[in-house]
Chain A
Amino acid sequence: MKLLYKHIKKDFLAKKTMMAILSLFLIGTSFLHYFVHFSVDKNLKIYRNLDQSALAENELKFINALEINKVLIRNMSSAMIVVFLLILFLFLTNTIKKNQAKVGLLQSLGFTTWDIARHTFTLLSVVSWITALIGAFTGFFGSSILISAYKKTYMVESLSKGISFAAFIYPFAWASLIDIVTLIAYALSANKEAALLMKKADSSAGKPGFVEKFIGFFKMKGGYKYKLTLKNISELFLLVTAIVTFGIMFVLSVSLLLSSREIMGSQREGREYSYVTEYDEVRNAEESTADEGNTDIVPPDSAGDISYYLRYNAAIDHDGEKISYNIIGTDSNNELFSLYDKKHNKIDLSNEPGVVLNPELAENYGIKVGDKLSIEVNGRAVEIEATNLARNAGIKSMYISKEKLAALMDVDNAAYNGVWSNASLDESASTLYEDKMEALSRDQTSNKASAIINQSIGVATGCLLIFLAIFIGLSGNTESILIFDLLGYDNKKINSILLDPYLIVSNIIFFLSIPICIYAARKIQINTSFATGDYMPFQVSGFTIVYMFVILNLICFLVRAVFTRKIKKIIEGEKQAEYLSEW
């Protein structure tokens, strides 16, 4: 049995590119897992065991961020493992098909398919354990980056590295999934009698497959090239999976990066004030200014420009779900704060018959302009129509004219509980807007720090995936390339017949998959927004597509170079016949 294992080990390890990429994929995934867990588990346990009521706001936010990161990494690593298992399955079925004569021989020598599968998954399990160990080692050291980000963001001290037993074991348990996939691959690909395996008899051989029928249906010019190149539907499926995965990861990571910038930009736009003053109770502007005895409030004339607003807690009833928001009533004719629509046109609230929404409500909840909203404002149920979207609406805020809100809430037109101003009005209630922006900036980066790192590694993994998919695809053409070489075709012609179509198809798949990638990335980002409680505006532009296109073609170029080198080696060594007759 040791010889069987030795043979299988040598056979798999000889597929250097494939094994290296599969291992890198696993290392990347386990690194992500350990990177987050080493920075989260122990600290979360410590903070959960503390008296929650005694914790400061930054510490509560820290606990929340740790929990969110755990959810994000679980989803991320699960998705990556699913993709990995799919690739592994395709790799194994292709390898078994190519080696079916050897499988047949081993069966004739008295080994069962189970014996062969068992030794294969033993090998793959060993590889997956080694990659998990490397991931654990690098993740342990890498987690310092996240811990230092937590310290800076949440101003929490004495953080330490630590991982729960279950989280530590998790990547090692992936081996059992690998075992199952290996067994399925053998059961499906080697489930033939030994004699048929040895003769490489394939009952479907010679019959036109889906690709042949598809090309035949369209009677494409030069269609024979595509028939030769894309003869294996599973390779095509792998390529589609790779490109879509890469596309989703890329769009998502760019969008996450840009969304912070977008949020910060939108929260500065239209704001000319320096201070925000908010009160718990509603006041009256006229009374405040007339009340000379009130020393808490700096009179408007000595405070420079000021603008009063009304702010109430609101709960939007959306399909039975309550969305907690603020409703702000303000006047349009003030110099300190203006709302802008998506086209950067100033919104005149006095001309808006209803409420002006935050884009989050449209993007994440699907509320449209024209929808009638049932809103509970400070405990009072009202029905208001959504009449516009303000790109620079405050976080969790929607707007209405102050006059209308006052009427809805039965308060005086001059009532207010918030003031925008350029000078501090009340030491106990005024906040410098720059301080608010700084806190927002911290939240933006911290809540997404690990998401962005994860996505970036996801993109790198996606690139590996594409490399793998194209390499597998091109490798499937090795025999055809060598036959064409023996028939006297020159390299340029061979490449144009057997390699270029694959690269053209990769680009076609890329362009066709763009809408799918954008749709899926948007959905994931919305779900991440819900999970983190932060609105992350989805950002995609033409540049994102151009970058993806360039990266895809760089990978194609690289694979082509690696592959042609491999072929050149066979041809220069005059080993074409040997390769073709390999049983």
Chain B
Amino acid sequence: MGNIILEAKSISKKFDERNVLNEVSLSIEKGHFIAILGHSGSGKSTLLNVLSTILTPTNGEVLYNGKSITRYSKREIANLRRDKIGFVFQHYMLLPNLTVRENIFLGAEKRDVYEHDKTDMSEIEKLSALLGIDKYLDEYPYKLSGGEQQRVCIARAVAKNPEILFCDEATGALDKDNSINIVKLLHEIKKKFGTTIFFTTHNREIAKTADRVLVLEDGNIINDYMNDEIIEPDAMAWGI
């Protein structure tokens, strides 16, 4: 139990009387890469959003490190997001009027030391080098390709060294090579920092790289299994 980072207890979510999530319960262990698999409208993004605190469940509760966060105040939730949770979005969501460096730093924990605190800035540079975007740090996002922008988005999420990283269709807008690179990067982050990663996708090949797979349909988990044979991202059979 001590290894459980996140728990969901009978969580449901309704939109306009329509059930999108039906009493879902699960426990997530620290350091796992969890793929949430399902087709469009299955409820996978809603599950991810509820687990990541950006959506409140209609019923049920979410526990973070054994503590219920469902009744947290807005400030407590904001602090949790700021300190412990990172997000990677399908459409990157980089602020166009800030440079790459500023976008990354916006996601960092110590926002108040923006004034070029050398330690923090060097951390950003190391991370950018790891993600292969160090040469774009002073550029604006519009100059970057989709894959590069997604790496900036990952850098922004990882800069604060979060305990959990939520990736919603993070490769949905990318081509094969970029998608493989992003999945590889995420696995490297998991290994290097011990980050727990949630990854929603409809791509079964990506799911094969995960430690655990949750399959959703009509707001229910219809399958929940640990991968016996985890494949390397390079070995994904893309396009099949």
A positions within 8 Å CB-CB of B: 1-4, 6-7, 10-11, 14, 101-102, 104-105, 107-115, 193-196, 198, 203, 578, 582-583
The answer on a CB contact under 8 Å between A2 and B114 is yes
Residue A195 contacts which of B55, B74, B85, B93 (CB distance < 8 angstroms)? B55
Write the nearest CB–CB distance from B77 to chain A, whole angstroms.
8
The answer on a CB contact under 8 Å between B105 and A104 is no
Which A residues lie within 8 Å of B49 (CB)? 195
Are A3 and B75 CB-contacts (below 8 A) given A107-B81, A110-B82, A583-B93?
no
Smallest Cβ-Cβ distance to B96: which chain A residue: A582
Which A residues lie within 8 Å of B102 (CB)? 3, 6
Are A194 and B106 CB-contacts (below 8 A) given A3-B114, A11-B97?
no
The answer on a CB contact under 8 Å between A583 and B91 is yes
The answer on a CB contact under 8 Å between A14 and B97 is yes
The answer on a CB contact under 8 Å between A101 and B93 is yes
Which A residues lie within 8 Å of B82 (CB)? 109-111
The answer on a CB contact under 8 Å between B78 and A110 is yes
Bound-complex Cα distance A156 to B133 (A): 74
Bound-complex Cα distance A408 to B70 (A): 88
Q: 3 closest Cβ contacts across the A-B interface?
A: A110-B82, A194-B54, A10-B97
- 30 A/B residue pairs, CB under 8 Å, sorted by A: A2-B115, A3-B114, A4-B106, A6-B102, A7-B98, A7-B106, A14-B97, A101-B93, A104-B54, A105-B89, A108-B52, A108-B54, A109-B82, A109-B107, A110-B78, A110-B79, A110-B80, A111-B78, A111-B82, A112-B74, A112-B75, A115-B78, A193-B54, A194-B55, A195-B49, A195-B54, A198-B89, A578-B142, A583-B91, A583-B93
The answer on a CB contact under 8 Å between A108 and B87 is yes
- Among B54, B55, B56, B91, the most chain A Cβ lie within 10 Å of the Cβ of B54
Bound-complex Cα distance A331 to B91 (A): 91
Known: A107-B54, A583-B93. 9 other contacts (CB 8 A): A2-B114, A3-B111, A3-B114, A7-B95, A102-B93, A108-B87, A109-B82, A110-B78, A113-B74
The answer on a CB contact under 8 Å between A3 and B105 is yes
Bound-complex Cα distance A10 to B52 (A): 29
Bits for B79-121, please: 1 = Cβ < 8 Å to A, else 0: 1111101010101010111100010011100011011000000
Bound-complex Cα distance A582 to B105 (A): 22
Bound-complex Cα distance A113 to B75 (A): 10
Bound-complex Cα distance A3 to B107 (A): 10
The answer on a CB contact under 8 Å between A105 and B93 is yes
B16 within 8 A of A: yes
Which B residues lie within 8 Å of A193 (CB)? 54-56
Which A residues lie within 8 Å of B95 (CB)? 7, 102, 105
Residue B55 contacts which of A6, A10, A196 (CB distance < 8 angstroms)? A196
Which B residues lie within 8 Å of A115 (CB)? 78
Bound-complex Cα distance A105 to B90 (A): 12
Are A203 and B16 CB-contacts (below 8 A) given A109-B107, A112-B75?
yes
Smallest Cβ-Cβ distance to B84: which chain A residue: A110
Smallest Cβ-Cβ distance to A583: which chain B residue: B91
Bound-complex Cα distance A105 to B80 (A): 15
Smallest Cβ-Cβ distance to A193: which chain B residue: B55
Chain B contacts with A in 123-169, Cβ cutoff 8 A? 142, 156
Which B residues lie within 8 Å of A110 (CB)? 78-83
Write the nearest CB–CB distance from B124 to chain A, whole angstroms.
12
Write the nearest CB–CB distance from A120 to chain B, whole angstroms.
14
Write the nearest CB–CB distance from B65 to chain A, whole angstroms.
17
Bits for B40-59, please: 1 = Cβ < 8 Å to A, else 0: 00000000010010111000
Bound-complex Cα distance A11 to B96 (A): 9
The answer on a CB contact under 8 Å between A3 and B98 is yes
Which A residues lie within 8 Å of B114 (CB)? 2-3
Bound-complex Cα distance A539 to B74 (A): 58
Which B residues lie within 8 Å of A583 (CB)? 91, 93
Write the nearest CB–CB distance from A521 to chain B, whole angstroms.
44
Write the nearest CB–CB distance from B176 to chain A, whole angstroms.
21
Write the nearest CB–CB distance from B58 to chain A, whole angstroms.
12
The answer on a CB contact under 8 Å between A7 and B107 is no
Bound-complex Cα distance A198 to B49 (A): 11
Write the nearest CB–CB distance from A430 to chain B, whole angstroms.
78
Write the nearest CB–CB distance from B11 to chain A, whole angstroms.
14
The answer on a CB contact under 8 Å between B55 and A107 is no
- Among B16, B55, B106, B112, the most chain A Cβ lie within 10 Å of the Cβ of B106
Bound-complex Cα distance A203 to B14 (A): 13
The answer on a CB contact under 8 Å between B78 and A7 is no
The answer on a CB contact under 8 Å between B81 and A108 is yes
Which B residues lie within 8 Å of A104 (CB)? 54
Which A residues lie within 8 Å of B83 (CB)? 110
Which B residues lie within 8 Å of A1 (CB)? 111-112
Write the nearest CB–CB distance from A492 to chain B, whole angstroms.
31
Which A residues lie within 8 Å of B112 (CB)? 1-2
Bound-complex Cα distance A107 to B106 (A): 12
Write the nearest CB–CB distance from A102 to chain B, whole angstroms.
7
Smallest Cβ-Cβ distance to B103: which chain A residue: A3
Bound-complex Cα distance A195 to B50 (A): 9
Which B residues lie within 8 Å of A7 (CB)? 95, 97-98, 106
Residue A109 contacts which of B81, B96, B98 (CB distance < 8 angstroms)? B81
Bound-complex Cα distance A2 to B102 (A): 10
Bound-complex Cα distance A170 to B88 (A): 47
Smallest Cβ-Cβ distance to A2: which chain B residue: B114
Which A residues lie within 8 Å of B81 (CB)? 107-110
Which B residues lie within 8 Å of A194 (CB)? 54-55
Are A198 and B54 CB-contacts (below 8 A) given A3-B105, A105-B93, A109-B81?
yes
Chain B contacts with A in 176-234, Cβ cutoff 8 A? none
The answer on a CB contact under 8 Å between B79 and A6 is no
Residue A107 contacts which of B56, B78, B97, B111 (CB distance < 8 angstroms)? B78
Smallest Cβ-Cβ distance to B105: which chain A residue: A3
Write the nearest CB–CB distance from A282 to chain B, whole angstroms.
83
Smallest Cβ-Cβ distance to B56: which chain A residue: A193
Which B residues lie within 8 Å of A582 (CB)? 96
Which A residues lie within 8 Å of B75 (CB)? 112
Bound-complex Cα distance A107 to B98 (A): 17
Which A residues lie within 8 Å of B115 (CB)? 2
Write the nearest CB–CB distance from B20 to chain A, whole angstroms.
11
Smallest Cβ-Cβ distance to B87: which chain A residue: A108
Write the nearest CB–CB distance from B172 to chain A, whole angstroms.
13
